[in-house]
Structure 1
Amino acid sequence: MTHPNTIESHELYVQAGETELAGNLAVPEHAKGVVAFAHGSGSSRFSARNRYVASVLNEAGLATLLFDLLTDAEEVIDQRTRALRFDIGLLSQRMVDAVDWLLKQPVLGDLPVGLFGASTGAAAALNTAAARPEKVKAVVSRGGRPDLAPEALPLVRCPTLLIVGGNDPAVIEMNKQAANRLIAPHELDIVPGATHLFEEPGKLEEVARLARDWFVNSFSENTS
């Protein structure tokens, strides 16, 4: 029986331009890469689904950064207007800033970077991959809206995995159309019996397994 690596977890602030965004950075011993999470509309770094996926990645030796794409003050506005969660330009710029911030951290600067995006966060992840092609080495989208990043899709250069629930027909179609615009190596993985949030028994575990394998394989190819 193997014992998991020690994982150091830090509450911190990610510098995104002039804005500080609250986050959590978890770093296993001998980390093989780091994955930044772009949460979906109306969610935050406390997303139970993303935190679960992050824990599976940590067990596989990958560092993870979960952070809020909006400040507390912006969250208050968004709860009332629901506008900022769909401001893909704002969310994308903050993801780009987060990747730049990650690469300046002494412990992480030499590690390959991956992005995990859920819902609208997937568009921010894809825009970031297109903006930082030399830095982002893999992208995974969970129930994502890659259709909200149409100009970025043909510019993405890293391996990209699109995961969609089999009982989420509208999002399946959006992802199929987005996949057709991707030039980079990519796969569309449809999880049978899963709805948009993968709430059914065993379905989120399947997402986490798929994401883990995608990042580990992509990072190992990058370093080989």
Structure 2
Amino acid sequence: MNTPFPAIASSSEVRLPTGHHWLYGDLVLPESFSGLVLFAHGSGSGRHSARNRQVAQRLQQRGIATLLFDLLTVEEEHVDLQTREHRFDIPLLTRRMQDATLWAQSQPQLQHARIGYFGASTGSAAALIAAARLGSRISAVVSRGGRPDLAGPVALAAVTAPTLLIVGGADDVVLDLNEQALRVMQCEKELAVVPGATHLFEEPGTLEQVSALAGDWFAAHLSMEHAA
């Protein structure tokens, strides 16, 4: 017997303060959600990334709230399109992840939700550094085709949140970098390799495998039973 998907209680565009700027995001809250996952997209991408939105939809179907937001302001995005100077600015992206997390935890409907991060490509480094800095405030991290090496060994060793690194089996260079990062990390950790997948998981069925792996990880670590 199929389990029905949880109904969506609310879906809204939100504004997140960061310094003297605002970031825009899409917040989706299923009924009786078990946690909230913030998405850190990769270089040159944003909250409208089709791949991240597909993963987010699968998480929502499993009763997990999601926040996809633009890590760059509109002005920064315009500059980045010409110069690419912001997409690899890991300290900037990390601050934005921290600001978004603090905003989420200040919202009445979210203040008791356990927080997870889903990072892709360079966004994974920002998610891991933010997780290291925020410590017990972050309950789980998932990286898809990420560059955890860009977080640096000190931050990687300081991460306490259970972390799942998902890499395509045909993405040889990134797979090697993730294996190296895994050896440095001291938290609960796991490396999942999706056979035949390249960096963007464009092969048929591979992104569905990412969604299932991420869903299982977040469901296990964001649940109130796990907290207890």
Q: TM-score range by the shorter chain?
A: over 0.9
Question: Aligned Cα RMSD in Å?
Answer: 0.9
> Aligned pair 1:198/2:218, yes or no?
no
Deviation of 1:17 after TM superposition, in Å, equals 2.5
Which whole-Å CA distance do the structure 2 matches of 1:186 and 1:30 have between them?
A: 28
How many aligned positions are there? 224
The amino acid across from 1:2 in the alignment is T
Deviation of 1:55 after TM superposition, in Å, equals 0.3
Deviation of 1:3 after TM superposition, in Å, equals 2.6
Tell whether the 8 Å contact from 1:165 to 1:192 is kept in structure 2 after alignment: yes
Give the match for residue 105 of structure 1. Answer: 107
Give the match for residue 18 of structure 1. Answer: 20
Q: Which runs of 4+ in 1 moved over 6 A?
A: none
TM-score (norm 1): 0.98
Give the match for residue 168 of structure 1. Answer: 171
Deviation of 1:194 after TM superposition, in Å, equals 0.2
Deviation of 1:222 after TM superposition, in Å, equals 3.4
Deviation of 1:192 after TM superposition, in Å, equals 0.4
Deviation of 1:144 after TM superposition, in Å, equals 0.2
The amino acid across from 1:157 in the alignment is T
Which whole-Å CA distance do the structure 2 matches of 1:6 and 1:19 have between them?
A: 33
Deviation of 1:9 after TM superposition, in Å, equals 0.7
The amino acid across from 2:122 in the alignment is T
The secondary structure found in structure 2 opposite 1:24 is: strand
Give the match for residue 11 of structure 2. Answer: 9
Deviation of 1:223 after TM superposition, in Å, equals 1.9
Deviation of 1:14 after TM superposition, in Å, equals 1.2
TM-score (norm 2): 0.96
Which whole-Å CA distance do the structure 1 matches of 2:147 and 2:5 have between them?
A: 34
Give the match for residue 129 of structure 1. Answer: 131
Give the match for residue 31 of structure 1. Answer: 33
Give the match for residue 189 of structure 2. Answer: 186
What residue ranges of structure 2 are gaps of 5+ in the alignment? Answer: none
Identity %: 54
What residue ranges of structure 1 are gaps of 5+ in the alignment? Answer: none
1:20-43 CA-partner distances (Å, limit 9, x unpaired) = 101000000001000000000000
Give the match for residue 57 of structure 1. Answer: 59
Tell whether the 8 Å contact from 1:137 to 1:222 is kept in structure 2 after alignment: no
